[in-house]
Chain A
Amino acid sequence: MRYGWFLLLLLPFLLAPFPFYLTLLNFFALSGLVALSLYVLTGLAGMTSFAQAAFMGMGAYATALLTVKAGLSPWFGLAAGLALSLLLALVLGGLTVRLKGHFLPLSTIAWQVALYILAGNLVGLTGGHTGLTDLPPLVLLGFPLDNAFRYGLLSLLVLVLAVLALHNLRFSRLGRALLALRGDALAAASFGVDPAALRLKAFLLAGAMAGLAGFLYAHFLRFVNPTPFSLEASIKYLVMAVAGGVGTIPGVLLGAALFTGLEDWLKDLLPLLLGRQGNYETIAYGLVLAGILLLAPQGLFPLLARFLPRKEGSLPRAEPLPLPAPSGARGEVVLEAQGLRKAFGGLLAVNGVFFALRRGEILALIGPNGAGKSTTFNLLTGAIPPDGGRVFLFGKEITGLPPHRIHPLGLGRTFQHPHLFPELSVLENAALGTYARTRAGFSRVLLGLHGEEEARALATAYRALKRVGLEGLALEPAARLTAGQQRLLEIARLLASGAEVLLLDEPAAGLRAGEKRELARLLKALAREGYTVLIVDHDMDLIMGLADRVVVMNYGEKIAEGTPEEVQRNPLVRAAYLGEAA
């Protein structure tokens, strides 16, 4: 099915009699490549770049300088161009991926402008605005690619390979992780995704793709000057991607095709209409962008896709990943908090909390609103660093570690408000849980060598869905689930992760009575199998019937600990809950 993209390679044969359209076809393929780089950034990773043209410029100038000035083979130029774009991406991304989302795009604007000015002013190196001419043609298998027909075959082949590679990326652990990161970085990190590192890698991939496009561009025109690598050009590529639909591969290609045609037409038409020469097409870009964002924020392709036949997914049949059965003696301490302390400004949210979680037990953390339960929870999972105190997991200190480092050690969590990804299927949501148990990196995924591991990851997720009774909805988008089903999906995701210590933040909130009983049965069964559960909830009936032990907090401090019966009798607890005089 997806190999149908190779049909694009027939286009040069169809257009062979029309040299003008062959040229446009090449421009389409190259724009498509850059637009695809924005699919990675914006569609998958939820970032964006206004410097994709600058990355192209890196690829173009590197090969131009090496071939024209040093007389080297263009393939050296390609290597140098990719290296330069990666270097630029590393600097730009390295500085900003840890910051809030808008710093990266803002700084890409600045760097784009700066590099454009440099390209125009470093006359001795780049030839200034006149540029560098007479680049040699690419020679492939003895054929010089010196006309638009031959070149079109190459540029379209590269485009199709890029499409297939990105398709692999989308349906892989990395694609899921990127989408998760876009939607909710904390949820992604809680399953072992290192947000900064993954964002940086996506940025590097996008930079390299644009650099490759720049290399191809330079050897197609066999001439480089700064103009095609300006901020306006970067914005043009973003307009393409956003207008077509930046969330899908066919969408960005649709945008690239539309705008490659439109640009040519606008460049002829607008100066005629306005009676003056100038870059008037930018007005159209700006207005189209505004219009799309206002009227069809998902872009044009999703509107078309409604009329296309929907592809039915299939359920995984592969062997699940080996599930390490929880091992170790029952009753040994798996998670321990020692004097945890956290203040928000003047508010001491958690003040010196001690407790230990023992293997195979269900420990409940309860307390009135504002008692510091959720903060304690976030301190244990690494979502926020403590001001004082220490946390040990399986005897290893994890104090202050970020969530993505804690999770692989065997601790998983759910969220008070389910952190799911509504546009992904239920199965894919659960499969995010397997991220830390799978290994395929970018190169393996892009080359499509991750198939077996991916099938097993999905099978693992499916097995976890069966466990919570959601297997019938596996292929539905998660947006269709009821509140109770969302909670179960979070637990399925946790089970798919293979974590032995399960931290559940108000798992029964919003559940109906029957669903609560189901949940209690599931949790008890898990505890019997050797999983360890820490549960925060308000539902006293549930907690008292479920928990082996209870820790009660009030005003940031632990006021009681013991079996449900003991804490129910404790006068301090009664005072905290009912306001009785202690």
Chain B
Amino acid sequence: MDATILGFLLLDALQNGVIYGLLAVAMVLVFAVTRVILVPIGELMMFAPLSLVWLQGGKLPGTLGLALALGALWALLERGRGRGLPLLGGVGLLLLFLLARGSPALAYPAAIFLVVYLGVASYRVFFQPLREATVLAYLIMAVGLHVAYQGLGLVFFGPEQYRPEPLLSGEVLAGLSWQGVLVLLFALLAVGGLYLFFRLSLFGKALLAAAENRLGARLCGIRPEEAGMVAFAIASLLAALAGLLLAPLINAAYFMGFMLGLKGFVAAILGGLLSYPVAFLGALLVGLFESFTSFYASAYKEALVFLLLVPALFFQSLRARAVEE
């Protein structure tokens, strides 16, 4: 291995690592606030660029129908004024999509809005009614949604891979495209933005409080349902943006989100599903590990990543007590 290859591998590791990192942070956030392990985050991530490609081709994607159907269920589940949000959101989404068919500039916000709306509606329809369910029930539900959304992705977009136009074309230097730089910048911005959101805004603090102690937060007037919706909205937003930026680099397809999400998990588990910075660092480690295993044993790189779980789980196991009250 020479310096050039090493450079390529490191850049590759960094680019993938920050994406896993964003997914891991989103998963830790959703888990902390709602106890849901967001397995379908990968599907949400892929729905963004695939819907974008459809819109740019002047077609309405099937995901729009899915989002509107779940939005309708969401509205049915709400009472009174609570229906305003899903109904207004649904109408807005539909209008945005109809307009975006003709104007490519609107296609990006439309795709992002779609994924956020879908994410929040999924929470409201599938997770919130389970309310005091066990983590296990949430997890089974999340895995169910993952397979359903993945199957629907196949129905909506077919098995082909698509490559949307990058926002910035060309290369900064060999191995690093401007789009790649954009991915890194976005990751930095997102992490910084989340930090400021949680530190400075009252809403961010309320969300952290809800994550820390649900009952206590409720006693302070923070509605856990609302906190859950916001957590899902943030996670979907991160997934959508990451998906849109990454798609030109990896050629998006309906099945690709799952592996990306799963590596985000590995990173989140490295952080014990608790710590944001450790999860992000874990994601960079996953990226690095993957990059180097793909150089030495490319056929197995997807499998070898999961080996990282062994030491992570082992160390956490040493610290844990089997019984908790």
Q: Which of B53-61, B102-110, B312-320 participates in binding chain A?
A: B312-320
Alpha-carbon distance A109/B269, docked complex (angstroms): 13
Nearest residue, chain B, Cβ from A118: B303
Query: Is the Cβ of B149 less than 8 Å from the Cβ of A110?
Result: no
Query: Is the Cβ of A239 less than 8 Å from the Cβ of B144?
Result: yes
B residues contacting A by CB (< 8 A) are 37, 39, 126, 129-130, 133-137, 139-141, 143-152, 154-155, 158-159, 259, 262, 265-266, 269, 273, 299-300, 302-307, 309-310, 313-314, 316-317, 320-325
Q: Chain B residues near A118: list those with CB within 8 A.
A: 300, 303
Chain B proximity of A176: nearest CB distance (Å): 17
A interface, size bucket: 35 or more
Query: Is the Cβ of B320 less than 8 Å from the Cβ of A99?
Result: yes
Query: Is the Cβ of A101 less than 8 Å from the Cβ of B323?
Result: no
- The dominant DSSP class at the B interface is helix
Interface string of A374-406 (1 = CB under 8 A from B): 000010000101000000000000000011000
Task: Give me 13 other A-B pairs in contact (C-beta within 8 A), A101-B135, A106-B265 excluded.
Answer: A48-B136, A48-B139, A95-B309, A114-B303, A114-B304, A121-B299, A186-B325, A242-B140, A274-B155, A286-B148, A294-B130, A297-B133, A378-B325
Q: Chain B residues near A97: list those with CB within 8 A.
A: 322
Query: Is the Cβ of B144 less than 8 Å from the Cβ of A279?
Result: no
In the complex where A106-B37, A278-B154 touch, is A114 in contact with B302 (Cβ < 8 A)?
A: yes
Residues of A59-101 whose CB lies within 8 A of B: 95-101
Query: Is the Cβ of A283 less than 8 Å from the Cβ of B317?
Result: no
In the complex where A102-B37, A103-B316, A278-B154 touch, is A286 in contact with B145 (Cβ < 8 A)?
A: yes
Q: Which of B137, B144, B158 has the most CB of A within 10 A?
A: B144
Q: Chain B residues near A274: list those with CB within 8 A.
A: 155
Chain A proximity of B134: nearest CB distance (Å): 7
In the complex where A402-B321, A402-B322 touch, is A293 in contact with B306 (Cβ < 8 A)?
A: no
Query: Is the Cβ of A283 less than 8 Å from the Cβ of B269?
Result: no
Query: Is the Cβ of B158 less than 8 Å from the Cβ of A276?
Result: yes
**A269 on the B face (CB < 8 A):** no
In the complex where A99-B320, A103-B316 touch, is A293 in contact with B141 (Cβ < 8 A)?
A: yes
Query: Is the Cβ of A280 less than 8 Å from the Cβ of B322?
Result: no
Nearest residue, chain B, Cβ from A419: B325
**A235 on the B face (CB < 8 A):** yes
A residues contacting B by CB (< 8 A) are 42, 46-48, 50, 95-103, 105-107, 109-111, 113-115, 117-118, 121, 185-186, 189, 194-196, 232, 235, 238-239, 242, 274, 276, 278-283, 285-287, 289-290, 293-294, 297, 378, 383, 385, 402-403
Alpha-carbon distance A110/B126, docked complex (angstroms): 24
Query: Is the Cβ of A282 less than 8 Å from the Cβ of B303?
Result: no
Query: Is the Cβ of A117 less than 8 Å from the Cβ of B302?
Result: yes
In the complex where A186-B325, A287-B148 touch, is A235 in contact with B136 (Cβ < 8 A)?
A: no
Which of the residues B145, B273, B309 comes within 8 Å of A110, measured between beta carbons?
B309
Query: Is the Cβ of A297 less than 8 Å from the Cβ of B151?
Result: no
Q: Which of B130, B146, B150, B322 has the most CB of A within 10 A?
A: B322
Chain A proximity of B176: nearest CB distance (Å): 29
Query: Is the Cβ of A297 less than 8 Å from the Cβ of B137?
Result: yes
Alpha-carbon distance A293/B321, docked complex (angstroms): 30
